Amino acid sequence: MIKKAQLSFLFGGLIISLAEFVSAHCPLCTIGAGAAAAGAAWLGVSKVVIGLFIGAFAMSMGMWFSRIIKKKYFPFQNSIIIFIVFFSTILPLLPIFRAIGPLYIPFLGEYGTTYAFNYSLASSFLGGIITLISPSLNKKIKEKRGGKGIPYQGIIITFSLLLIIGIILQVIFK
């Protein structure tokens, strides 16, 4: 039987591997996401929110490292690099920001079923997804504005989304 953690990794890997085009973040985004995670831990923010920022940091690192190798050696090279960097960043840090709680699924069984669920791991995937889609969102906003954007628009979009989701998660998981 597949364990829940393995299923989470497979689901996260599937999402990351479906990305065909990678518009990588700059080093400033990567450092900013890492600093946000460190700042959140220093301020006593929920481990779930820290997981969100660590996931964003890991995805940004993966996207950044995938740009380093200019020549394509095999199909989905960038996606594989992103996958490896993402999980090699998240997995060693998991014991530090682990927040395990109940996940009640009401439609399974006669009275529903409750599972132990790693909220931090799920929020890491959410942070990674936000970081992965923000360059596309930035591009669409620029297209709507006739190719014009404001300075540091990509960073503003990424951090705004992370901040909004982080505040929501902090309220939910005090």
Per-residue pLDDT tens, the chain, 174 aa: give them: 456 555 555 555 555 455 444 444 456 656 666 677 677 777 888 889 889 988 998 998 898 888 888 888 888 899 999 999 999 988 888 887 788 888 888 888 788 888 888 999 999 999 999 999 998 998 999 888 888 888 888 889 999 999 999 999 999 987
Element (DSSP H or E) covering residue 13: helix 4-17
Strand partners, 116: 102
Q: 8: buried, middle or exposed (CB in 10 Å: 19+, 13-18, 0-12)?
A: middle
Element (DSSP H or E) covering residue 103: strand 100-105
